[in-house]
Amino acid sequence: MRILLAEDDTLLGDGLCAGLRQLGFQVDWVRDGAAAERELACGVHTAAVLDLGLPLKDGLDVLQAVRARKIATPVLVLTARDAVPDRVRGLDLGADDYVVKPVDLHELGARLRALVRRSHGQPQESLRCGALVLDPSARLASLNDEAVLLSTREFDLLHALMLNAGRVMSREQLEQHLYSWGHEVDSNAIEVHIHHLRRKLQPALIQTVRGIGYAMARDGKAV
């Protein structure tokens, strides 16, 4: 999944980017509040990690502004401000979770996955579609209790489709989910990944909606 990181500390930002990418996230990093607000307004990120002490615009002001615009992207506030009133204000302004620095990377990854699950109405960590099971934490997939070997892009694409089971996603939406800044995307990349997934899974699980995009059959049934 594609995450926006808003953090002005270069050393910490480098570490968070590297660590989150190792956990399977695609990360876009901005270093000030104005850029954070602008990127959140684009709506291309699955979730955001937002520092409060940002230059140009404070993180709480960013949060208040995006929620006022009805932008529902899950936001995890990551900050050194550990006073209870600060945490309460952040949550009241629309933060979905609040973590005080320093943070364990695995905990941060787990909290991000939980935010995304909740925002898609998924109560459990593992996603299921008929006999297909996806474990985002372990980055494992199985079909009929047999492991399915997937590339990084194939796994991320399947994750996006399963999170949005029953909903048609355009090629552009899927590209936004798979690729962070700086990645060159071939014009037929999504089609190629879909083709490979269908070869490895039950072909009918991923449906083509002509002229619109692709959809994962909900509970193994047609959309």
- Domain 2-119: give its CATH code: 3.40.50.2300
pLDDT for res 182 = 56
Residues of the chain with CATH 1.10.10.10: 127-220
Fold of the CATH domain 127-220? Arc Repressor Mutant, subunit A (1.10.10)
Per-residue pLDDT tens digits for 129-176? 888 999 988 899 999 999 999 998 899 999 999 988 888 989 888 988
| Neighbouring residues of 211: CB distance < 8 A, sequence distance ≥ 6 | none
State how far the Cα of 155 lies from the Cα of 167, in Å rounded to an integer.
18
177 φ/ψ sector (left φ>0, alpha ψ -120 to 50, else beta):
alpha
pLDDT confidence tier of residue 118, bands split at 50, 70 and 90: confident
Whether 107 contacts 19, CB under 8 Å: no
Per-residue pLDDT tens digits for 14-64? 999 999 999 989 999 999 999 999 999 998 899 999 998 899 999 999 999
Per-residue pLDDT tens digits for 91-114? 888 999 999 888 899 999 999 999
Residues of the chain with CATH 3.40.50.2300: 2-119
Using the Cα atoms of residue 59, residue 34, residue 23 and residue 161 in order, give the sign of their dihedral: positive
| Assessment of whether the complete model's pTM goes beyond 0.75 | yes
